[in-house]
Each structure stands twice: as C-alpha cells, then as structure tokens.
Amino acid sequence: MDRFIPLSIPNFEGNEKKYVDDALDQGWVSTGGAYITKLEQELAKFLRTDNVAACQSGTAALHLSLAEAGVNPGDVVLVPPLTFIAAVNPVKYRFATPVFIDCDDSLCMDPVKLRDFCEQECDFADGTLRWQDKPVKAVVVVHVFGNLADMEAVMDVAERYNLKVIEDATEALGSRWTEGRFAGKYAGTAGDFGCFSFNGNKIITTGGGGAVTARDPKTVDHLRFLSTQAKTDPHYYIHDEVGYNYRMTNLQAALGVAQMEELPDFIGRKQRNYERYRAAFEGFSLAELLPFREGTESNKWFYSLCLDRSRIDAPLKEIILALREKGIESRPIWGLINEQLPYREEEAYRLEKAPYYAARVINIPSSTQITEEEIDYVADEVKRLLKGLCHG
C-alpha cells in the first residue's frame, strides 16, 4: 500500500506549539491559567454569545447541561438513536430514562415524530409533560456531522411542552443558520444549552476537551462552578452543591486558543473539499453524497455516502476493508444506540429513517489537510469498488 488517507486527523499548522510551550514555561498546566479564560472568550466571540465555560469533554458538557436542566432520577429525556453513544450516556449518569426519537433525512432528530410522541404518547397537565407517569424534562438534539437539525420545529415543540433543549453541537462548531428564526445564530446557541467537543477528530481539537454555553450567561457561570467541584469558598474548601472535576486544563486550552485562530480557515477547507467530492459523485447512481440542510451554512465536518442498497448488498464492513486495502480509511455510521446492550430495554419510538441510514451510510476522508488529488483518488476508488459490487 503506497499511500494512506486518514478519515479525520488534527491539523497543527499555527501557534499550537508556541502556546503550549508558553503554558509549560508559566507552570500553569492544570485547571487554572490564562489560556482557559482566553479560550472561553474566543469561543464566546466566535459564537456571538455572552458566556462559555471550557470543560473536560463534550460528554462533560452534556452531563453538566442535564444537571442544570433539572433532570433527576426517574425523569425522561428524549434522545436520538443515530449518533455517537456519548450523546445519550449522560442521561444514564443522571439516572434518567432515555426515549429514542427517529431522525429525518438530515440524520438529525425528526421534529414531526418528536411532536407526535409528545402529543400521542404523553399527557400534558399543569405545565408538565409525562410519559408513563414519568416527567419528560429535556430533549437532546445532535447536529450530526455538522448538519443542523430543524431547530425551529424542535423549539416549537419544546416551548409548547416546557422542555429544556440541549444542543449537542459537538460536531457542528461553526455551522450556522442563514434563514428563518435563527438566521445568523450558530449551532449550540438556539436551544437552552449548547455543548461542544474538541476531541482529536473534531474541526478543532484540544486533545480532549469541550465547552458548554447556555441562553442565560448566569447559567454558564453556574455550569463553570459545578465543573470545578462547586467550591463556594475555595480557600476553606466549602462546598454547598455536588460538583464535578470537569474543568479543562490550561495546556488543553493553550492548544485550543491556537486552533481557534485557524477555525475560519478550517471551515473554508471543509466546505471546499465537500464541493469537490460533490462534483466527483454527481450523477453516480450507486451512492449519494448526502447534502446539508438548506437555509444553513454547515462546517461540513464529515462527509457521508449513502449506498443504493437495491443494487449493492455487500456488508459495510466488506466495503470499508476493501477501501483500506486501497489506502483509504472510512467508517460506518454508528450502530443504533437503542440496539446497544445498555439500551435495549428502552423505548424507541417509530424508528424508520435511523435504521435505514445505519445500514447505508459510510464516512469518507474529511481531514482539513486532504489534497485535491487525494479527494479525486478517494472518489475514483469508491466508485470503482461499488461498480464491482453492483448486482443490477
């Protein structure tokens, strides 16, 4: 194998080493230091929001948001089945019950089925929605692969039934609406809470790390407080609430400050690379490069090919292994969360699109460093492989 084109790897072309070395030189390496504050400020400025708290991971951001939203043991949270399992696990951390709501063709939560579940399966009285006599408290909406969910419709349902909306924008930093009620707003700033991830494969990275924002700046202050073990008096170790060790480190934040400087360029590269893939697959009948929602400008973090299963019945694993033989890393979309062992007994409401796409979608290389020649090579090899597997 003469070449290897990775799926999605970090890009360190800027001041990453300089800032990390500076943090080391200052001796501020843990959960205190100027780079944490600087990253929070830069994120808030970019997102056009008032306050952002940097934390340990996107999962930590989700857990903090659920706690702040008042999700308690025995409550219900409406969640997607077609996403990374980290979007749902924090519901279990709160000892709450997830109910899985189907996706639409954007791969994000279907607001029609969300509304139908609330209208047809639940009771609403005295300002509280209840399912099987359990309070329904919140909705977790994931902007899958940087594609924005239909937040206008989701928020209409949430406002009707007094539900808190937690946006999992871990894959969508930089995606924004260009039309409608949320025109000009960025992913993570339309709901009550917005959660971000800076894992190694995201559009920017701090190694690990994440961030959380909320509609009310004072809420973000409390989230930050909870993330630092809820120290009411840090000198005398007074704690009036149960807190968490969820604060980002200064070393991670130093990396993040450098990455934020490059974010606009990274988004531009992702968008241009997607357009080259789109042109390469235009008119190809055996697989469609999935589009992004109209009325939005996506960061186009990940690129998804949806196979024509009427003509290609090879398992996704066989296709992925064959591409690897050609030096191309790819991956299947996630296994449905409701089919995973810890969630098999949970309610899954009218799932149709989620299993449809789970059986058909693979992701192809999308790193910001990928070259035009590599994109053309990936597209040519994918098309050649699928033509060889086609049976009609």
pLDDT digit string, tens, across residues 240-295: 999 999 999 999 999 999 999 999 999 999 999 999 999 999 999 999 999 999 99
pLDDT of residue 235: 87
| pLDDT greater than 90 at residue 392 | no
Distance, CA of 88 to CA of 106 (rounded, Å): 19
**Backbone phi, psi, residue 104, to 5°:** -105, -165
Distance, CA of 301 to CA of 269 (rounded, Å): 10
The domains found in the chain, sorted by start residue, are: 16-259 (3.40.640.10), 263-389 (3.90.1150.10)
Do 9 and 369 touch, CB atoms closer than 8 A? yes
User: Rounded mean pLDDT of the chain?
Assistant: 97
Distance, CA of 290 to CA of 103 (rounded, Å): 14
| pLDDT greater than 70 at residue 1 | no
Q: 């990374």: which residue's tokens?
A: 84
Distance, CA of 276 to CA of 298 (rounded, Å): 15
pLDDT digit string, tens, across residues 196-246: 999 999 999 999 999 999 999 999 999 999 999 999 988 889 999 999 999
pTM, two decimal places: 0.97
Distance, CA of 192 to CA of 151 (rounded, Å): 12
Distance, CA of 197 to CA of 123 (rounded, Å): 35
Percent of the chain clearing pLDDT 90 (strictly above): 97
**Backbone phi, psi, residue 166, to 5°:** -110, 115
- Summarize the confidence of residues 175-182 as an average pLDDT: 98
CA dihedral (63, 80, 134, 156) positive or negative: positive
Sheet holding 303-307, edge to edge: 287-289, 303-307, 361-364, 331-332
Tokens of 289: 């490069």
